[in-house]
Amino acid sequence: MIGAFVAAAAVAVAQYVRCRDRRLLPLAAMLAFQAAALFDGWPDFWRDVFQLAVCLAGLVLVMMLTTSPGPLRKG
């Protein structure tokens, strides 16, 4: 499962390099933090820290999606 999150984060970074859309960076961070949170070698404290980082990156992504004009938004 960790490999899927790492691969998805790599795809998000590759898409960012290709199209330079800053909204892909919090998505890549969310996926990378989730992969780190699922790693079994961490103590419980670090899992919670990485889960908090996933939530914060998600909130940043929501803010970026709602405040920046996207290609489909008019006005």
Tens digits of pLDDT across the chain (75 residues): 899 999 999 999 999 999 998 999 999 999 999 999 999 887 889 999 999 999 999 999 999 988 866 566 555
For the entire predicted model, the pTM comes to 0.82
Query: Where do the domains of the chain lie?
Result: 2-67
CA distance 67 to 69: 7
DSSP 41: T
Neighbours of 52 (CB within 10 A): 12
8 A C-beta contact, residue 30 and residue 60: no
